[in-house]
């Protein structure tokens, strides 16, 4: 079957196309060049005057894994506000802060997204994350496996094992968890919390192991680079949410010594201590450092006002933040000598000084970082806001007068503490396409995704341009996933199952000797039962695994 998308205005940064009128041909799920010989178009869509982009990719969204399900279980009252009916083609569920898996897939697709990446796949909980993601329809998915507070790594470091030993362990873990990248959360801090440490600065030692967050970042960023994984080490830094953590973030950037590093939800790590409330914006200095250090990429973790829930691997900081829980209930867990988690419901209020300034700090960051290829649009769903608020966020970025209108309604002291009103920048459609498509695919190392040239999978979103960018982005005219029309006028019209994106870095098989001994002595399952096999993802006939090339 040959599908032709005729005459749309195409924004495809991956090919350097910025708003040119082009036809697109789709065959067998992929974009193809216009057939050379006589051909018959089976289905044609007239897209004259429409905006065409590839399907959007959320490179950091908590859509699979235990802490998300704890967040769901914790908040029945939130689900009751947003029940979702079943239909002939869709399953029932719930929406808002932490939607059910099926609704997650539908609502992402209905905004023109075709992929989402779970950033915190605990090795021991990766199976659950994949099972949940297997129940998210339409979207492609993948995950970054979490290391850095696992006792095995810290033992390797304390025993002064060489970088190769660490590389083998990291590569083995990526393969056994079926991941596409590596994340570190509060490096060593989740572990330190188990030893009753309540804070851990970049150069502070873990009480038991003596290693510091700086050491951990160094060995993991090196490992990720040396084993050839495209996605740089994905870092949730030390001191999340602590006033003054801007300095920690700047030190982290300096300390990594030029290695590729992605700093996630940087808004939560960009706080100064100035002003009457001892809480100020560090966005300008952070943005300056990002602009200068080309090895660094970031996503923002924008907060937006309203009820949500924060679900993080950072048990140490989540425990410290539980005082802000709203409603007042929260969970932390220590997990399997592997990691931890903390789930704290939050209600961000525009009339609360800190929340209002957090909102402004996120936006300042977006607007002060020059290179859209190195910054990504996230709310750290659901931590800053549910992913369904992306169209609103896009409007804030693209529409200065709207932005200033909202700014004028937030806490007056916060208005005084931000430079936002004076920032003139408005994001262009091409820049939005870079942040949410081409740049994200490049950052994760996705082959044949995030672009509209021939050879790419046909993940395509078609919008009607509207000066109200929120309206435009919340209701695409068409969304195609692997060439299948799944959304019309912002509503799901058919469903399918996406693939699971992974990488398979090589390791020396002898790494399993040390691991087997460790598992038998200290853990609670056999090494062989720990590793996730391909058939666990593919056996139900819905899932598939896509292995992406390494960077060599």
Give the tokens for residue 183: 């994340």
Concatenated DSSP letters of 501-529: EEE-----TTHHHHHHHHHHHHSSS-HHH
Query: Cα–Cα distance between 426 and 428 in angstroms, integer?
Result: 6
For Zn ion, which stretch binds (CB under 5 A), given 100-108, 375-383, 409-417, 502-510? Answer: 375-383
118 forms part of the interface with Zn ion (CB under 5 A) = no
Q: Which does 524 bind (CB under 5 to 8 A by kind): Zn ion, other proteins, none?
A: other proteins
Give the count of alpha carbons within 13 A of 146, CB side only.
31
Angle at 120 between CA 116 and CA 123, to 5 degrees: 120
336 forms part of the interface with other proteins (CB under 8 A) = yes
Quick one: 264 or 461, whose CB is closer to Zn ion? Answer: 264
330 forms part of the interface with other proteins (CB under 8 A) = yes
Binding residue for other proteins (CB under 8 A) from 41, 89, 421, 525?
A: 525
Quick one: 125 or 186, whose CB is closer to other proteins? Answer: 125
138 forms part of the interface with other proteins (CB under 8 A) = no
| C-alpha distance from residue 444 to each of 142, 180, 254, 424, 499 (Å) | 10, 8, 23, 31, 15
CB neighbour list of residue 353: distance below 8 Å, 6 or more residues apart: 277, 279, 411, 413, 414
Q: Which does 298 bind (CB under 5 to 8 A by kind): Zn ion, other proteins, none?
A: none
Q: Which does 319 bind (CB under 5 to 8 A by kind): Zn ion, other proteins, none?
A: other proteins
Binding mask 49-68 for other proteins (x = CB under 8 A): -----------------x-x
Q: Which does 380 bind (CB under 5 to 8 A by kind): Zn ion, other proteins, none?
A: Zn ion
Quick one: 22 or 128, whose CB is closer to other proteins? Answer: 128
Binders of other proteins in range 153-192 (CB under 8 A): 155
Binders of other proteins in range 362-391 (CB under 8 A): none
Give the tokens for residue 50: 């429409």
Residue ranges with strand state E in 166-209: 181-185
Closest Cα partner for 507 from 221, 164, 217, 181? Answer: 164
Give the shortest CB-99-to-Zn ion separation in angstroms: 16
For other proteins, which stretch binds (CB under 8 A), given 84-92, 177-185, 232-240, 401-409? Answer: 84-92
Binding residue for Zn ion (CB under 5 A) from 118, 338, 380, 477?
A: 380
Long-range (24+ apart) CB contacts under 8 A made by 425-430 are: 425/367, 425/400, 426/397, 426/398, 426/399, 426/400, 427/366, 427/372, 427/394, 427/397, 427/398, 428/398, 429/11, 429/19, 429/51, 429/53, 429/398, 430/11, 430/13, 430/18, 430/19
Quick one: 104 or 249, whose CB is closer to other proteins? Answer: 104
For Zn ion, which stretch binds (CB under 5 A), given 131-139, 205-213, 214-222, 379-387? Answer: 379-387
The answer to whether 469 and 391 are in contact (CB under 8 A) is yes
Give the tokens for residue 84: 């979702």
Query: Cα–Cα distance between 311 and 98 in angstroms, integer?
Result: 10
Binders of other proteins in range 505-524 (CB under 8 A): 521-524
Binding residue for other proteins (CB under 8 A) from 72, 269, 395, 548?
A: 72
99 forms part of the interface with other proteins (CB under 8 A) = yes
Handedness of CA 532, 534, 539, 542 (dihedral sign): positive
101 forms part of the interface with other proteins (CB under 8 A) = yes
Give the shortest CB-393-to-Zn ion separation in angstroms: 16
Q: Is 551 exposed, middle or buried (0-12, 13-18, 19+ CB in 10 A)?
A: middle
Helix H or strand E segment including 94: strand 93-94
Residues that bind Zn ion (rule: CB under 5 A) add up to a total of 1
94 forms part of the interface with other proteins (CB under 8 A) = yes
Query: Cα–Cα distance between 488 and 329 in angstroms, integer?
Result: 40
Binding mask 190-229 for other proteins (x = CB under 8 A): ---xxxx-----------x---------------------
Binding mask 270-289 for other proteins (x = CB under 8 A): --------------------
Quick one: 4 or 130, whose CB is closer to Zn ion? Answer: 130
Q: What are phi and psi of 407, to 5 degrees?
A: -55, -40
69 forms part of the interface with other proteins (CB under 8 A) = yes
Give the shortest CB-87-to-other proteins separation in angstroms: 9
474 forms part of the interface with Zn ion (CB under 5 A) = no
Query: Cα–Cα distance between 144 and 60 in angstroms, integer?
Result: 9
93 forms part of the interface with other proteins (CB under 8 A) = yes
Cα of first residue to Cα of last residue in the chain, in angstroms, is 36
The answer to whether 236 and 185 are in contact (CB under 8 A) is yes
Closest Cα partner for 428 from 471, 393, 397? Answer: 397
Query: Cα–Cα distance between 29 and 454 in angstroms, integer?
Result: 11
108 forms part of the interface with other proteins (CB under 8 A) = no
For other proteins, which stretch binds (CB under 8 A), given 32-40, 80-88, 216-224, 303-311? Answer: 80-88
Concatenated DSSP letters of 257-272: TT--EEE-SGGGG-EE
Quick one: 333 or 485, whose CB is closer to other proteins? Answer: 333
Give the shortest CB-488-to-other proteins separation in angstroms: 22
Give the shortest CB-98-to-Zn ion separation in angstroms: 13
333 forms part of the interface with other proteins (CB under 8 A) = yes
Q: Per DSSP, what are the bridge partners of residue 461? A: 53, 479
The residues of the shown chain that bind Zn ion, judged by CB under 5 A, are 380
Q: Which residues of the shown chain bind other proteins in the complex (CB under 8 A)? A: 66, 68-69, 72-76, 79, 83-86, 91-94, 98-102, 122, 124-125, 127-128, 131-132, 135, 151, 155, 193-196, 208, 319, 325, 328-338, 343, 521-526, 528-529, 532-533, 535-536, 539-540
């Amino acid at each position: 079957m040959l599908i032709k998308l005729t005459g749309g205005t195409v924004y495809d940064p991956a090919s350097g196309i910025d708003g040119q009128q082009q036809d697109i041909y789709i065959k067998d799920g992929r974009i193809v060049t216009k057939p050379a010989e006589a051909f018959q178009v089976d289905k044609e869509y007239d897209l004259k005057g429409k905006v065409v982009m590839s399907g959007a990719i959320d490179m950091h969204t908590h859509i699979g894994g235990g802490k998300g399900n704890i967040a769901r279980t914790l908040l029945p009252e939130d689900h009751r506000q947003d029940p979702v009916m079943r239909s002939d083609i869709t399953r029932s569920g719930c929406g808002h802060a932490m939607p059910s898996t099926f609704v997650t897939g539908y609502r992402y697709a209905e905004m023109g997204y075709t992929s989402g990446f779970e950033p915190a796949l605990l090795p021991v909980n990766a199976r659950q994350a994949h099972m949940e993601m297997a129940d998210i329809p339409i979207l492609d998915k993948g995950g970054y496996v979490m290391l850095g507070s696992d006792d095995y790594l810290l033992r390797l470091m304390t025993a002064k094992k060489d970088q190769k030993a660490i590389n083998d362990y990291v590569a083995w873990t990526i393969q056994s968890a079926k991941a596409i990248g590596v994340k570190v959360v509060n490096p060593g801090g989740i572990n330190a919390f188990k030893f009753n440490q309540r804070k851990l600065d970049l150069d502070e030692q873990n009480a038991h192991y003596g290693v510091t967050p700086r050491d951990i970042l160094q060995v993991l960023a090196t490992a990720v680079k040396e084993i050839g994984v495209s996605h740089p080490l994905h870092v949730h830094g030390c001191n999340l949410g602590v006033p003054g953590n801007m300095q920690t973030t700047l030190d982290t950037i300096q300390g990594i010594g030029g290695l590729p590093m992605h700093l996630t939800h940087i808004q939560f790590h960009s706080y100064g201590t100035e002003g009457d409330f001892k809480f100020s914006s560090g966005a300008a200095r952070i943005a300056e450092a990002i602009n200068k250090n080309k090895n660094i990429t970031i996503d923002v973790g924008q907060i937006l006002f309203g009820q949500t829930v924060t679900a993080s691997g950072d048990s140490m900081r989540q425990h410290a933040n539980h005082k802000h829980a709203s409603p007042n209930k929260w969970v932390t867990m220590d997990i399997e000598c592997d990691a931890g988690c903390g789930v704290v419901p939050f209600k961000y209020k525009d009339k609360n000084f800190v929340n209002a300034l957090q909102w402004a700090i996120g936006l300042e960051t977006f607007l002060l970082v020059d290179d859209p290829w190195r910054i990504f649009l996230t709310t750290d769903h659901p931590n800053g806001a549910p992913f369904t608020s992306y169209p609103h966020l896009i409007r804030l970025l693209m529409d200065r007068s709207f932005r200033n209108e909202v700014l004028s309604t937030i806490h007056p002291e916060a208005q005084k503490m931000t430079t936002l009103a004076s920032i003139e920048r408005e994001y262009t459609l091409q820049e939005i396409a870079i942040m949410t498509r081409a740049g994200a695919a490049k950052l994760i190392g996705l082959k044949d995704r995030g672009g509209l040239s021939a050879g790419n999978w046909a993940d395509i979103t078609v919008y009607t341009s509207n000066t109200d960018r929120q309206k435009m982005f919340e209701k695409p005219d068409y969304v195609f996933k692997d060439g299948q029309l799944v959304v019309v006028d912002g509503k799901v019209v058919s469903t399918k199952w996406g693939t699971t994106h992974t990488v398979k870095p090589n390791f020396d098989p002898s790494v399993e000797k040390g691991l087997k001994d460790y598992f038998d002595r200290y853990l609670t399952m056999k090494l062989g039962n720990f590793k996730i096999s391909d058939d666990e993802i593919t056996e139900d006939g819905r899932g598939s695994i896509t292995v992406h090339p390494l960077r060599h």
